[in-house]
Structure 1
């Protein structure tokens, strides 16, 4: 179990770390003083204590970026301002703790978060990531592992799978949000599955089946960083 604490106040970081260690000795605790460091961290975080009011990138923006990347980390906001409570739940926060942190309340929230994480991990082992596509009266489940890449053509989305293609009406941006961090919007017309990337250069991505898709110049740097993070997550 990996627990991260992100707060720009050292005293608060240390206080939360101390509370965690009082009841859980065998967890891995990572400390951050800014949101960008959380986003750049290559390993999976199970539970994140996240301050809202931080300089540069605040906690809300950090949480939105995590969700946009498909990260399902359990987020517990920690802040001195109660007015953000409704925004917190907009980004799927598990709970909201007010400063100064009440120890008994903290223990209850942490225990519930750990139980929730364990349950979701068990559930995740049983449920393989997938999409549900509706084509008129037909509903079809498509597993992420089957998808080579997705393209938009003539206002239609085409999901290219290992053995066939599926066409339907939709927005590439909506699909991008659903697919998560193992996929990348490498071009305005394409989303590629990192799983099947064989090689890439400044203008294109070649897949294991030999197909080549476009890599936009302005997307190149973002693509390389995301691909490196993908390889780190997979231990490649």
Structure 2
């Protein structure tokens, strides 16, 4: 596991490193005194602890750069550790995992870092999950993370994935059970992978590939509840 600590205050950097080492002994930890140093390292970190106000390149700029570099739905964890509350709203724009204020509350840090580790482990497990799809007379392995959504049309089930479209059969209720809690039945004809959602409104859900799915009016409130629960439980959120 690779962890970055970027802060122009040496004492703060050392404090964060010591707290990290309390919970995970074998992590590869790199420290940086400026945002520029961290970007020059060109490393892909699993978790980044970022101060916000630093010389030249701010922690928010570093976070934006990290997000722009990331491919598909693979998202590292960003935790801001700063003395300023005023940047909290901007942290949501880069899908920050948490926003910790200085001076660091050590108990809160341990709790947040522990949850971040749990999310990483859960994300790793999600990448291994797959279903078997009968397509053109053969069984094909399809990884859950690669499915955008599943559609029922003309007595067929159409699986829209990152690698293409597959035709299969079965009832949507059965597909709902197979895919599990990371999917939501937003309409009788659509089952969406919540990991792939990029935006939504009262009647439409848009997924990563640009397709727009119908969100049944009567399901809107339930969708919001389920999506918030999914996010709280550590699901990948792109909205």
Calculate the TM-score normalised by the size of structure 1. 0.54
Q: Is the 8 A contact 2:146 2:162 kept in 1?
A: yes
CA distance in 2, matches of 1:44, 1:65: 11
Q: Does 1:81 align with 2:100?
A: no
Give, in whole Å, the separation in 2 of the partners of 1:128 and 1:95.
Answer: 24
Displacement of 1:2 after TM fit? 1.7
What does residue range 126-141 of structure 1 map to in structure 2 within 5 Å?
Answer: 126=129, 127-129=144-146, 141=160
- Give the secondary structure class of the aligned counterpart of 2:127: helix
Residues 144, 60 of structure 1: alpha-carbon distance in 2 compared, 3 angstrom cutoff: farther
Shift in Å, 1:144: 5.8
RMSD: 3.0
Distance 2:128 2:93 in 1: 26
Unaligned segments of structure 2, at least 5 residues: 130-143, 150-157, 165-197, 199-207, 210-239
Give 1:65 deviation, angstroms: 1.4
In the aligned structure 1, how far is the partner of 2:89 from the partner of 2:21? 30
1:7 and 2:15 matched: no
Please give the secondary structure, in 2, of the residue aligned with 1:125.
coil
Q: What is the CA-CA distance between 1:14 and the residue it aligns to?
A: 0.6
- Structure 1 equivalent of residue 24 of structure 2: 24
How far apart are residue 74 of structure 1 and its match? 0.3
| d(CA) in 1 for partners of 2:22, 2:40 | 28
Q: Distance in 1 between matches of 2:55 and 2:146?
A: 35
Q: Residues of 1 paired with 2:48 and 2:64: CA distance?
A: 13
Structure-1 separation of matches of 2:44 and 2:127: 14
State the distance in 2 between where 1:105 and 1:12 align. Answer: 16
Q: Please state how far the C-alpha of 1:38 moved relative to its aligned partner.
A: 2.8
Structure-2 change in CA distance of 1:37 and 1:122 (3 Å): farther
Q: CA deviation at 1:96?
A: 0.6
Distance 1:21 1:50 in 2: 17
Task: Please name the residue that 1:108 is paired with.
Answer: 111
Q: Supply the distance in 2 between the matched residues of 1:44 and 1:120 (Cα, whole angstroms).
A: 16
How far the C-alpha of 1:119 sits from its partner, in A, is 0.7
**Runs of 5+ consecutive residues of structure 1 not aligned to the other structure:** 133-138, 146-173, 180-236
- Residue 51 of structure 1: CA displacement? 0.6
Pair 1:99–1:115, CA change in 2 (3 A): same
Q: How many residues align?
A: 147
Change (3 A) 1:140 1:30: same
Q: Distance in 2 between matches of 1:21 and 1:76?
A: 16
- Structure 1 contact 130–141 (Cα < 8 Å) conserved: yes
- Runs of 4+ that moved beyond 6 A: none
Q: What displacement does 1:113 show?
A: 0.5
CA contact (8 A) 2:52 2:82 kept: yes
1:99–1:144 CA distance, 2 compared to 1 (3 A): farther
Alignment partners' CA distance in 2, 1:144 and 1:131: 10
